[in-house]
Structure 1
Amino acid sequence: MSVIHKKVDDLPTSVGVSFAARLAFEHVEHAYDEKPVLNDVNLVAEAGEVLCLLGPSGSGKSTLLRIAAGIEPQRAGRVMLNDREIAGPSHFLPPEKRSIGMVFQDFALFPHLTLLENTRFGLTELSRKDGAAEARVALARVGLSDKVDAYPHELSGGQQQRVALARALAPRPAVLLMDEPFSGLDSRLKDTVRAETLAILRQSRTTAIIVTHDAEEAMRIADRIALLKDGRVVQVGTAETLYHQPVDLFTARFFSEVNLFKGTVENGTVETPLGIMEARGFVNGSTVHVAIRLVGIGVSEAEGDIEARIVKRRFLGVSEILELAVAGAEERVRATIREGYLPPEVKKVRLSLRRSDVLVFASKPD
């Protein structure tokens, strides 16, 4: 199956503009068979922003989308669209009345319908002629105007994703929900399809909430990221905030690979096999975790305060991950270097740290 080769700049720039809305979750709770899946979720997607819901499987991301779409009612709390309650104790607006579109993970295209018919499917309030005209505009918006008579099975995965996006945008929703929209795409296509999808969302000015479990993907596409764990919002902010100022170890590890050491605070510092680290704000005698990002460890044949021995090298194309034996470390220390930076025969090296990549967190009870 062929793949379209349109660039973002080639996509139509005159697109139907949505009236972007502010979507808010207020103290939302939900459970399946009495097992909690959402716990007091408070979250806002501002008008026109791309908000990513990020977290591991089972953290409640997709459930939050289904509640917003009206596919299922929450157990408690409210969902507000521009300060109007659309789901809550006093009101429940059916899905077709919410002006909220949704792109499912499997695209949910009808195999027996053409692209034009798939895209027109949700335009029930328009005549057949007007609906077809709007569907053609939506398909042109995603670069598929020459495929209107094709069927889903004749398309690549990337093209099917575009059709699903066109169908969701055709009614010009105030909010668009996307559940892992890129997970089924070939890795070679992901970057292109993500960039083009983001360009379309910017052009249509739709508020978008996108679910993903991939931190790098969230950082590529989101204005803000909401990280969830066990049905709770752990931290909300820009990619820079969550990376540089994680509120806990879970957040830090979600955004980067780290070496982890446990230690006891003495006079505002904690000792690790890679040196003494600052531990401001912790009382003497408290146990902390010290997380050091792999990219924050400098490796050199001659420069650095810490002696180490290379035990293993993993080639990753433009980079290598080293496994290092360091005195006092129970486990091997890992570091990332540029490919070809160290000759293959080098075994003894010296390490240095970039202090901005050293993070200290309170140790939770085991």
Structure 2
Amino acid sequence: MKNGHAQTASRVTAGVTFAARLAFENICHAFGPDSETLRDVTLAAEPGEVLCLLGPSGSGKTTLLRIAAGIESQSTGRVLLNDREIAGPSVFLPPEKRSIGLVFQDFALFPHLTILENVRFGLTALSSEEGRREAMIALARVGLEDYAASYPHVLSGGEQQRVALARALAPRPAVLLMDEPFSGLDSRLKDSVRAETLSILRESRATAIVVTHDAEEAMRMGDRIALLKDGRLVQSGRAEELYLRPANLFAAGFFSELNVFQARVKDKMLDTPVGRIASPGFAEGAETTVAVRLTGFDVSETAGEFEARIVARRFLGVVELLELAVSGTDEPVRARVRCGALSTKARDIWLSLRKSDVLLFETRRESA
């Protein structure tokens, strides 16, 4: 069986139309009076940028993508392509007039059509010969021109994903939308197909918006990430910004597994089960949520800042996942540590806290 990257070396490069800026202005959407799916979302994908829409199921990611494509209509707000309104109070361009390509989650290939016919399907404005030529260029771009006469069922999942990408790129769209494009792939293939897809997007120079619920995937793919929750935009920016300076506990928890404690500021310090922590910028007496990443502990069998007892440990290859009993909390403290850092017989150990892996939030705002 062919794998998803068998013909990468044979890919050719070819550009698309000039990349466009796609902007959402104050987008609201509801399926009924009590089912708001998007709430005043303002966001833009810049020309040539890969923007990842990230969030849990039901956060509004796919709905926003469908509004951009023209499959769904917003309740209020506007969609603009290079500052030209394509969907708003007085304008609604149909999908075929938007210069926007769409790659569906399940690839949506026609089983009764050859690979070439699948890719040529959307090129209705061209003559048969011109359509065939453009389709072959798109297939060559993804390294699958040798499979033009084959049918989808003979291709691997990774190859089918690349055919879907070729079909979306064939009309040379200014913006490409991708809805969970790698969710159907074998986990062993995801890394290579993601890397190939990103390379193709760079070469084609199209602006791209990619929907995902996987934070690592968003960090691998996106120039910027927009994090949504319950139809609202929580935070947007580069991966480093969202990881290092999350706007709230939800954002922090989406990018890292966390231990969470509550503490009150006293003398500019917070007393927690994992040590005393400075609280710059927090008022005296403020209730504070302390979030500590699982990677935020150094472990030792001889010395450290505080003691812990290993309750459970799980070997995960490069790291071990520890559950620890720590004085001051009934909940186990979890830690990810490098394999080999502790002997197999270790039970009572010492922990030291890495302050760079501690995040502080005002509790009142978190519960609002």
Q: 5 Å matches for 1:1-366?
A: 1-6=1-6, 10-34=9-33, 35-363=35-363, 364-365=366-367
What SS is found at the alignment partner of 2:208? strand
Query: CA offset at residue 348 of structure 1?
Result: 1.3
Stretch of structure 1 that moved more, 264-273 or 227-236: 264-273
CA distance in 2, matches of 1:52, 1:14: 24
Query: CA offset at residue 284 of structure 1?
Result: 2.2
| % identical aligned pairs | 66
Q: Deviations over 1:236-265 (max 9, x none)?
A: 010000000001000000000111101112
What SS is found at the alignment partner of 1:182? coil
Query: CA offset at residue 353 of structure 1?
Result: 1.0
- The alpha-carbon distance between structure 1 residues 365 and 248, as it changes in their structure 2 partners (threshold 3 A), is closer
Query: CA offset at residue 296 of structure 1?
Result: 1.0
Stretch of structure 1 that moved more, 80-89 or 284-293: 284-293
Q: Deviations over 1:161-219 (max 9, x none)?
A: 00100000000000000000000000000000000000000000010000000000000
Letter in 1 for 2:184: G
Check the 8 A contact 1:13/1:203 in 2, yes or no: no
- The alpha-carbon distance between structure 1 residues 4 and 161, as it changes in their structure 2 partners (threshold 3 A), is closer
Query: CA offset at residue 12 of structure 1?
Result: 2.7
What SS is found at the alignment partner of 2:265? strand
Stretch of structure 1 that moved more, 262-271 or 324-333: 262-271
Q: Which runs of 5+ in 1 are unaligned?
A: none
CA distance in 2, matches of 1:190, 1:5: 11
Aligned residues: 365
- The alpha-carbon distance between structure 1 residues 44 and 300, as it changes in their structure 2 partners (threshold 3 A), is same
Letter in 2 for 1:257: E
Query: CA offset at residue 301 of structure 1?
Result: 1.0
Check the 8 A contact 2:12/2:142 in 1, yes or no: no
Check the 8 A contact 1:7/1:196 in 2, yes or no: no
What SS is found at the alignment partner of 1:352? strand
CA distance in 1, matches of 2:75, 2:128: 39
Letter in 1 for 2:72: E
What SS is found at the alignment partner of 1:134? helix
The two structures have a TM-score, normalised by structure 1, of: 0.97
CA distance in 1, matches of 2:209, 2:52: 6
What SS is found at the alignment partner of 2:177? strand
Letter in 2 for 1:106: D
What SS is found at the alignment partner of 1:266? coil
What SS is found at the alignment partner of 2:227? strand
Q: Which runs of 5+ in 2 are unaligned?
A: none
The two structures have a TM-score, normalised by structure 2, of: 0.97
